Amino acid sequence: MKFNKFTAEELFYSYIKERVAGNSDQIPEYNIIRNSGHNGGDFIFVKKR
């Protein structure tokens, strides 16, 4: 990624999903976990310089 800050969702859709699905019998999902009490939000990653 060319950005200094990015979310877990951006990371998933930009790098992880296609690579994992193309190399395995599983298709990864980025979704909320049911019945977890999840209130929304996402992880934000900040690259160190």
Model confidence, pTM: 0.65
Cβ–Cβ under 8 Å, residues 41 and 33:
no
In a domain, 39, yes or no: no
Radius of gyration of the chain (CA): 13
In a domain, 35, yes or no: no
Number of domains in the chain: 1
Note the pLDDT of residue 1: 54
* φ, ψ (nearest 5 deg) of residue 45: -105, 140
DSSP state of 20: H
In a domain, 36, yes or no: no
Q: CA distances (Å), 22 to each of 5, 8, 9, 19, 48, in order? A: 26, 20, 19, 5, 30
Q: pLDDT under 70 in the chain at which residues? A: 1-2
- Which residues constitute the domain of residue 13? 1-29+44-49
